Amino acid sequence: KAGVTQTPRYLIKTRGQQVTLSCSPISGHRSVSWYQQTPGQGLQFLFEYFSETQRNKGNFPGRFSGRQFSNSRSEMNVSTLELGDSALYLCASSLTNFQGKYGYTFGSGTRLTVV
């Protein structure tokens, strides 16, 4: 069965531009969460969607936004890019939005470089 698919794998953008990243969860999974990973900060939670609704949001500025579609695919958008937004953006999908016996699976990530 197909894993979590993130597109594109690599992206180079200029400061001030905006970017949209895509995440297709494992078939049947309804929860998608997004994370930013940088060498200095490690993995940081951005937001989580379940059944098209944002359930949790991390401590990131409003330039970071997301949405989830009826087929559970999710997108995240970053507007007015800054150099500090350069990072590996990971999404993870799960059957439900609660911990416990249900696991979550990460995608391979999108490497965003802002120049």
Does 7 contact another protein by CB under 8 A? no
What residues from 22 to 51 belong to the interface with another protein (CB under 8 A)? 31, 33, 42-45, 47-48, 50
Contact region with another protein (CB under 8 A), list: 11-19, 60-68, 74-82, 94-102? 94-102
Q: Which one-letter amino acid corresponds to residue 8?
A: P
Distance CA 86, CA 81 (A): 9
Contact region with another protein (CB under 8 A), list: 14-22, 69-77, 78-86, 103-111? 103-111
Distance CA 41, CA 108 (A): 19
| Residue with smaller CB distance to another protein, 18 or 51 | 51
Distance CA 13, CA 30 (A): 30
Q: What is the CA radius of gyration of the chain?
A: 13
| Residue with smaller CB distance to another protein, 69 or 98 | 98
60 neighbors 78 (Cβ within 8 angstroms): no
The backbone torsions φ and ψ at residue 30, rounded to the nearest 5 degrees and listed phi first, read -115, -10
| Residue with smaller CB distance to another protein, 72 or 97 | 97
Question: Can you give the binding site for another protein, defined by CB under 8 A?
Answer: 4, 6, 31, 33, 42-45, 47-48, 50, 55-58, 88, 90, 92, 94, 97-100, 103-109, 111
